[in-house]
Amino acid sequence: MAYQYKNLNINKLTIIGAGQIGPDICLHFAKVFVNDNVEFVIIDISPEALANAKTKIEKKISKGVETGAFKTDMAEVMKKSITYSSDYNLVKGSAIVLEAATEDDRIKDLIFKQVEALTDDSCLFLSNSSHMQPEVIFRNIANKKRCLVTHYFFPADRNPVVEVVPGKDTDPKITTTLLGFYEAIGKVPIEVGSSYGYAIDPIFEGLCELAILCLEKGYGTIKEIDKIAQVTLKQGVGPFTALNLTGGNPITNHGLEEMRETHIAWFRSPKTLQEATANKTLWDTAKRGEEVIVSPEKAEVLRKQFLGGYFALCCYIIDLGITNVNDLDMAAEMALVVASPFTLMNKIGINESHQLVKDWCAEHTEFPFPKSLDKAKAEGGWKVSRIVAKKQDNVAVLTIRRPQVLNALNLAVLTNLKEEISKAENDSNTTAIVITGFGTKAFVSGADINMLAALKTPEEGYDNSHTFQQLINTIEKCKKPTVCALNGFAFGGGNELAITCTARVAKKGLPVVACQPEANLGFIPGSGGTQRLPRLVGVDVAAEILRTARPVSGKEALEIGLIDKEIDGDLVEGAVEYAKKLATGEIQPRKFSTNGTHENLAPKEINIGHLSKKIDHIMNKAIYDGIKLPLNEALELESKLFGECILTDDMKIGLNNFLTNGPRAKAEFTHK
């Protein structure tokens, strides 16, 4: 038994390096492969490091049992799957060897030369370097086609981002396989060109350098700088706190000095950082709960420093040409827990952002003004999209990618999707379209709840529903067949998007493939759910699903006609084949009536439990009055009734309960 991803067969995986990050990488692998009987080996020459690694991993697993993340038997399997050893012979038989040793090219070279002698050419060589280029690390390896850098971020078992960095000799097919593999095991990989520090670390270390320069210039104290940086850039923690938490002084000190040679002269380790590194001292950051008050004058100086510096650093990475705006916007937010840079520039305003960077570069004269920012200003802002568009066998594959919110929909995402559908529809070489979601958990987790909670009047509710409907209607109006490939659950707006497609396929065996949870939150669907679902699966079947807000499994979805096929194997490949058959007429789409019915239909008695009777009344009106109308008129009715929900107490109660207590807590509806 082993883990299989396409042509990658993993029965044994070795981690070399039992320091800070190696054990966390191993823990993640052990968790995701817990049912695949994969053998893991952690190798280190230090018995103390191995002992510490075992203690660290088992402590985290035990904590997982306490919190309910792991069942007891699962925890035992994970613990038993890992061997800790200093014997390099245990590398033999590994499908992957991932090195996570000291950031020293001589040590890495020595490790991989040993590994090369013990493995065959099918074994992938990965290095979790944080800075060094693959051409340097693997310079003495005979078969460089299977060698890449995979840069994890702290903490590696929980931080989803992995930079995948191929060298000039890496086989592109292996890079593509590795990107898909990481997505399949729950990570968020981005491909980055070979460059010292890759895409993310120059930003992180540049912000740390900037914080220390602000300290040396007297712009604020450590605590003040940390606070304003955190607030301004919406960071999880400020730069000084981040350095303390990650033990990052030595590697940042070294990285900045190297980047002065490999990048631009602005990068350098400030004197204060050199001293802290030499003395092994931590930064005097605020204690938990300590209030830090910063004068408005200081705060404004620091705000401009961090906005100007952050934007300049991110634009500099784009100028290098090693990644793209969409990947960096997403990865910076997720890896560093910081505001998405290009989205933030657009929000502030491209002209103001341009001026902030211009003023900052005037002070930091060794930092060249980024050419990409000039271009963005000329174009009226950054073009940021959450849709990844690719072509496979003349079929456009559009992936909704917002992993930080399980691909939740907002108006920007739907606008991006509309643009990509229009491009595919107008491309004579494109025969069909597949729409899927990033990752393995969710196709789309629903609409952005904060956006819905901000609606205050029936008019705002109507406009929101109507706008969403118009964007989703783009799919229905498309002249080419569209197939929704459900890689995970489709909640709320996700299911409404799916049922607008020509057909739906789902990954086989999904315990939950769809749900319209709106009644749980105190409102009705507003993007076509009350109108298209009854026309697809039958009025009474749809009404029960909508009124109870219960989930539907893949098996049931196939039985009731919500999906057309379950795919056993690669979902996207299966969806592409299905789309091609729709395009040629080999498969006919399921019948879907846009006309109203003259049947005398009325709501049936069902048990809605604790759910709002007020909202249930509105829901029934939408379903049973709507089915009698042509679809365009029925959608208009749904938008009006969605707006009516805004006036109810129960919508406020439902949304507040969700935002305060989470999705599993039952709202105490008053039925008003």
Residue 231's φ and ψ, nearest 5 degrees, are -70, -45
Give the span between the Cα atoms of 12 and 352, in whole angstroms: 53
- 496, 577, 638, 644: the catalytic one is 496
Half-sphere exposure of 287 (CA within 13 A, CB side): 1
Give the span between the Cα atoms of 249 and 283, in whole angstroms: 10
Give the span between the Cα atoms of 27 and 437, in whole angstroms: 26
Give the span between the Cα atoms of 325 and 129, in whole angstroms: 23
**If phi over 0 gives left and psi between -120 and 50 gives alpha, with beta otherwise, what is residue 223?**
alpha
- The order of strands in the sheet holding 82-85 is 82-85, 39-43, 12-16, 96-99, 124-127, 147-152, 161-166, 188-191
- Contact of 103 with 251, CB cutoff 8 Å: yes
The per-type count for the chain, helices as H runs and strands as E runs, is 29, 19
Note if 636 is an active site residue.
no
- 116, 205, 518, 644: the catalytic one is 518
Note if 103 is an active site residue.
no
Which residues, in sequence order, are bridge partners of residue 3? Answer: 10
What is the identity of the amino acid at 300? E
Give the span between the Cα atoms of 627 and 530, in whole angstroms: 9
Residue 515's φ and ψ, nearest 5 degrees, are -165, 140
Which residues, in sequence order, are bridge partners of residue 39? Answer: 12
Report the DSSP pairing between strands 387-392 and 395-400.
antiparallel
Give the span between the Cα atoms of 585 and 452, in whole angstroms: 40
Give the span between the Cα atoms of 502 and 592, in whole angstroms: 9
Using only C-alpha atoms, the chain has a radius of gyration, in whole angstroms, of 27
- The whole-angstrom distance between residue 651's C-alpha and the CA centroid of its chain comes to 29
User: Residue 464 is encoded by which pair of tokens?
Assistant: 């929101």
SS3 of residue 567 by DSSP: strand
Report the DSSP pairing between strands 12-16 and 39-43.
parallel
For the annotated catalytic residues, the residue numbers are: 496, 518
